[in-house]
């Protein structure tokens, strides 16, 4: 790659003079943001940025200042963030900021080549650097791109944990209940194995120490992990977590040390979601110069279940002292430019009032953190924070639906997509939020719920799976298969095949049925070649794969039109992506043939069994729908999403549903305790807080994120009974919420205050 020389540095006064001005003619940086931008990096920078305080805005101008004023070469600046979507947003805003400087006539801005900046998630950047530097461990290696693909690999390679029938082993790591009498099924074992392996990698677990403990469960786990590493190496594959380990190994090698020695400027966004191995990577990248900026908010740390440790941010000063021999410069962004003053007052009272968030020994929050200050151009005397608390969910749902209808039909919001229903789980069931989504649809409003975990039950997705099954296995019966299917899969296949038949019974899809029948006949009439017993096209013009069959099915109606539907289309695409990953691990999707008892050929029994027990089960086991990386919202549709999914977004109206549904003590908290003795980190807390305390932290941070998404109206809605009262007390902040909450009846005044 050709490297373009960076433009000659400009002065800081010239940089400020060229900054584009916001409406009203004020400089688009607060005093605290300016201090961040002007930092001289004699010390590392530690930026704590609360919700709505312009974190991304600050990052953009800080980065442009480093490039244009400080003269950092673009190819030596690394800017990382937690998700691809956030990276795309940063890249777009950097481009727009650069263009604004060009339009303002800043000398050298037009020559700044932002394409040379290393910008992306750490996984992406690690992969890019390792490929560019031709690191042997990652050359010509295929990445297991997600958790489901990793599970397919664990099953395909028959990891020892797949055959672990020791119930006590699984119970120890909270991966089945103490009351269970049987160990997890194969699919769950693969899921749990992947989780265990990922945590061992991300926490840099010392395998020698774990084995030396002498505990049989740890010895078994070490052996299974080492087997997993061996199988990955033999199969020329790696996973997301191990890509980071490879990167750290490279950085510590002579070649990596030489690369770092040239000087890197490292800027890390969403640092509260960092895990121990990432923490070490960032400090190794920064080298002895310590040109390191971390930006985040401990109160918005949501990803403990993925291995994140909020202590990386709250104890960042200890890490700097450990790795660099000096403390960082702390800086707080507190001016909230998003929310109504009542909402800002509410979130301040909520996060600061919980005793669980204050500990005299362990830093649960960043030290000396000031409250948010309301600076948004949002006003009005209406009650901006309200509660709908009813004796049952259907009653609460009816009131919520009426409120949403009033807002949308009354023109109080410009579009239904400015209303967001946020919840712990978006599963639309009687035990979930089904009453609320049903009530809103009954008001004539559309709901967009891309994380409902209902993709596998969508009528079209079911029909597509059913069509696939009927095509490959016209004589399907569980007793005909070579081995029993996992629990739930036979029933799911019956639903899928029935959904396909229901589609055909409409009488509008004869061409689809003709294709399925003709394909069945083509299989039956195939000649089995002993040297290559796989299904081929007529005249042996290439192989027939599972993906090619799926593409053909998708070309027929109604599936072809469904692909253009924002909800159904994404579900069908998800099924296609999962199939592609399945094919990569199971015979490249080839369809092996075997003799049919009645003459001719049929699909081989083990091919069918793997298709059903691995691919179909993977889809049927509560798959999350994908979220489009470019457009999370659909115009004209009320948004339903998990609180996790809402992070980084804002809405005019936020309604938090089912406050009684909260994080709980889980395998995540148990794994933290189990692996604590075998991993080291300079930010590891001096005292291990209990699992209950950490689960409480997770709940409080989760609802803090939910509440702080709202610009003009925040509503908390659900069932309030003696049983749910303790949960409500936590999400209401206990006594600290008094005086800040109005009942739903007061919302009638909203008509005079358009949102």
The helix or strand, by DSSP H or E, that contains position 119, with its residue range, turns out to be strand 118-121
Give the orientation angle of helix 568-585 with respect to helix 459-472, to 10 degrees. 40
Residue 55 is labelled as binding a ligand: yes
Residue 647 is labelled as binding a ligand: no
C-beta separation of 176 from 476 below 8 A: no
What six digits make up the tokens of 245?
Answer: 């380990």
Residue 53 is labelled as binding a ligand: yes
Sign of CA pseudo-dihedral 249, 254, 255, 257? positive
Q: Nearest-CA neighbor of 671 among 165, 205, 188? A: 205
Residue 307 is labelled as binding a ligand: no
d(CA 238, CA 234): 10
The helix or strand, by DSSP H or E, that contains position 278, with its residue range, turns out to be helix 276-286
Scanning the structure block, which residue is given the tokens 């060009």?
A: 102
Cα distances from 590 to residues 20, 166, 532, 622, in angstroms, run 58, 35, 11, 26
Residue 483 is labelled as binding a ligand: no
Pairing mode of beta strands 637-642, 419-423: parallel
d(CA 230, CA 103): 55
Torsion of CA 276, 282, 285, 286, to 10 degrees: -130
Cα distances from 83 to residues 88, 121, 179, 397, in angstroms, run 9, 6, 38, 33
Residue 50 is labelled as binding a ligand: yes
Q: Nearest-CA neighbor of 628 among 450, 461, 418, 460? A: 450
Scanning the structure block, which residue is given the tokens 């009974």?
A: 721
Secondary structure (DSSP) of 640-706: EEEHHHHTT--EEEEEEE-TT----S-HHHHHHHHHHTT---TTS-SS---HHHHHHHHHHHHHHHH
Look at the chain and count its residues: 755
How many C-beta neighbours within 10 Å does residue 484 have?
A: 12
d(CA 333, CA 58): 9
Q: Nearest-CA neighbor of 122 among 267, 257, 309, 289? A: 267
Residue 744 is labelled as binding a ligand: no
Instruction: List CB contacts of 92: < 8 A, sequence separation 6 or more.
Output: none
3-state DSSP assignment of residue 51: coil
Q: Write phi, then psi, for 682 (nearest 5 degrees).
A: -65, -15
Residue 52 is labelled as binding a ligand: yes
Please report, in range form, the residues annotated as the binding site.
49-56
Please report, in range form, the residues annotated as the binding site for ATP.
49-56
């Amino acid at each position: 790659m050709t490297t373009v020389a960076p433009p000659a540095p400009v002065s800081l006064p010239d940089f400020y003079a060229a900054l584009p001005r916001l409406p009203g003619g004020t400089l688009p940086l607060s005093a605290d943001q300016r201090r961040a931008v002007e930092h001289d990096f004699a010390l590392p920078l530690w930026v704590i940025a609360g919700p709505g305080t312009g974190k991304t805005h600050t990052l953009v101008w800080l980065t442009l200042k480093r490039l244009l004023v400080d003269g950092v070469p673009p190819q030596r600046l690394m800017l990382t963030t937690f998700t691809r979507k956030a990276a795309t947003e940063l890249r777009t805003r950097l481009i727009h900021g650069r263009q604004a400087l060009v339009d303002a006539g800043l000398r050298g801005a037009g020559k700044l080549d932002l394409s040379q900046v290393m910008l992306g998630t750490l996984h992406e950047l690690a992969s890019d650097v390792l490929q560019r530097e031709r690191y042997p461990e990652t050359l010509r290696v295929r990445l297991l791109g997600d958790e489901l693909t990793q599970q397919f690999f664990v099953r395909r390679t028959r990891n020892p944990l797949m055959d672990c029938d020791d119930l006590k082993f699984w119970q120890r790591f909270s991966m089945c209940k103490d009351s269970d009498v049987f160990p997890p099924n194969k699919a769950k074992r693969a899921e749990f194995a992947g989780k265990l392996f990922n945590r061992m990698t991300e926490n840099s677990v010392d395998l020698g120490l774990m084995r030396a403990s002498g505990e049989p469960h740890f010895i078994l786990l070490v052996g299974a992990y080492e087997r997993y590493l061996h199988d990955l190496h033999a199969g020329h594959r790696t996973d997301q977590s191990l890509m980071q380990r490879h990167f750290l190994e490279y950085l510590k090698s002579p070649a990596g040390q030489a690369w770092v020695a040239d000087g890197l400027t490292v800027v890390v966004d969403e640092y509260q979601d960092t895990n121990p191995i990432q923490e070490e990577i960032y400090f190794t990248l920064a080298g002895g110069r310590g040109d390191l900026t971390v930006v985040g908010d401990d109160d918005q740390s949501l990803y403990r279940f993925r291995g994140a440790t909020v202590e990386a941010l709250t104890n960042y000063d200890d890490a700097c002292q450990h790795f660099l021999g000096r403390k960082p410069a702390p800086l707080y962004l507190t001016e909230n430019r998003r929310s109504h003053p009542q909402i800002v007052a509410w979130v301040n009272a909520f996060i600061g009032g919980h005793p669980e968030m204050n500990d005299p020994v362990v830093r649960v929050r960043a030290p000396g953190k000031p409250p948010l200050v309301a600076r948004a151009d949002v006003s009005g005397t209406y009650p901006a924070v309200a509660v709908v608390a009813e004796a049952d969910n259907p009653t609460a749902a009816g009131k919520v639906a009426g409120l949403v209808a009033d807002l949308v039909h009354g023109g109080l919001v410009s579009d239904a997509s400015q209303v967001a229903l946020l919840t712990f789980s978006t599963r639309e069931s009687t035990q979930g939020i089904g009453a609320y989504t049903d009530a809103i649809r009954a008001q004539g409003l559309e709901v967009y719920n891309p994380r409902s975990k209902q993709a596998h039950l969508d009528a079209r997705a079911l029909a597509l799976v059913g069509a696939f099954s009927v095509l490959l296995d016209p004589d399907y019966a569980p007793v005909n298969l070579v081995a029993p299917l996992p629990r739930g899969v036979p029933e799911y296949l019956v639903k899928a095949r029935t959904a396909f038949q229901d589609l055909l019974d409409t009488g509008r899809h004869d061409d689809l049925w003709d294709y399925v029948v003709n394909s069945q006949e083509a299989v039956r009439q195939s000649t089995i070649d002993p040297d290559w017993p796989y299904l081929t096209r007529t005249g042996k013009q290439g192989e027939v794969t599972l993906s090619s069959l799926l593409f053909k099915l998708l070309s027929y109606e109604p599936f072809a039109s469904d692909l253009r539907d924002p909800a159904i289309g994404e579900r069908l695409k998800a099924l296609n992506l999962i199939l592609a990953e399945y094919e990569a691990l199971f015979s490249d999707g080839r369809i092996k043939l075997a003799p049919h008892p009645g003459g001719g050929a049929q699909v081989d029994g083990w091919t069918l069994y793997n298709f059903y027990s691995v691919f179909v089960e993977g889809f049927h086991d509560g798959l999350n729908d994908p979220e489009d990386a470019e457009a999370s919202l659909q115009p004209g549709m009320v948004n339903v999403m998990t609180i996790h999914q809402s992070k980084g977004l804002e809405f005019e109206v936020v309604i938090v549903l089912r406050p009684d549904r909260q994080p709980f003590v889980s395998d995540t908290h148990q794994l933290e305790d189990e692996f604590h003795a075998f991993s080291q980190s300079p930010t590891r807390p001096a005292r291990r807080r209990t699992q209950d305390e950490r689960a409480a932290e997770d709940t409080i941070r989760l609802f803090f994120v939910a509440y702080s998404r709202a610009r003009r109206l925040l509503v908390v809605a659900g069932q309030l009974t003696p049983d749910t009262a303790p949960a409500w007390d936590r999400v209401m902040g206990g006594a600290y919420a008094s005086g800040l909450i109005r009942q739903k009846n007061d919302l009638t005044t909203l008509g005079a205050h358009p949102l």
